Amino acid sequence: MSFFRRKPKAAPVAAAAPAATGAVAVAERDSITGDYVIDASHSRLGFSARHAMVTTVRGQFADFDGTAHVDAENPAASSVTINIRPASISTGTADRDGHLVSGDFFDVENHPAITFVSTRVERDGAEWTITGDLTIKGVTKPVTIPFEETGTAVDPFGNTRVGFEGTTTINRKDWDLSWNAALETGGVLVSEKIKLEFDVSAIKSA
């Protein structure tokens, strides 16, 4: 028998089905439409500001919740509501956090909540633009936030998830967050412009 004789081809082996535990299935795009609850444990609502004109300080809020109605076919019918407890602010420094919750900034004793309620939602492919009323310290101003739809998936527990990332820049003085201190070299201690950062994972309601 020749050693160069071709061996018969083996029958194709069917791909193994993913295990039930840890398997992640990509959800169909149309399935994004529905009602959602923000998963705070896998989301981040953060911000950054310039400090002393030379560096950037970053922080986030640990205590928040929110809901959304997403309509992929009719984006104008979509809506978002977010509630943040500013007392949960964290910048990595206890003294700074204590100053931020005081009357100089968020005044959490008299204003325990920050809210955002959408007034208009637009969509262009995976790009969403959400305009809404942002209320801080009893002052309400409109804010527009561009978001990128980062993906949809079914997690190992059967939850349909959708992810969004967005950023926008506001002037804190518009919401009466006006405390500052002048620097001897010119400029101020805290920038007026604040960058807001949103990394959101939301779970579709059953």
Q: Residue 7: its pLDDT value, please?
A: 42
CA distance 31 to 153: 10
Average pLDDT, the chain: 87
pTM: 0.82
Residue 96 per-residue DSSP state? H
Domains in the chain, start-ordered, CATH in brackets?
28-204 (2.40.128.110)
Q: Residue 30: its pLDDT value, please?
A: 54
Long-range residue pairs from 49-55, CB within 8 A, at least 24 positions apart, any chain: 49/172, 49/190, 49/191, 49/193, 49/194, 49/195, 50/190, 50/191, 50/193, 51/189, 51/190, 51/191, 52/183, 52/187, 52/189, 53/183, 53/187, 53/188, 53/191
Q: Residue 2: its pLDDT value, please?
A: 38
Q: Residue 55: its pLDDT value, please?
A: 87
- Please list the ranges in the chain whose pLDDT falls under 70: 1-30
Closest C-alpha among 20, 66, 68, 26 to residue 45: 66
Long-range residue pairs from 42-47, CB within 8 A, at least 24 positions apart, any chain: 42/201, 43/198, 43/199, 43/200, 43/201, 43/202, 44/197, 44/198, 44/199, 45/82, 45/84, 45/196, 45/197, 45/198, 46/196, 46/197, 46/198, 46/199, 47/194, 47/195, 47/196, 47/197
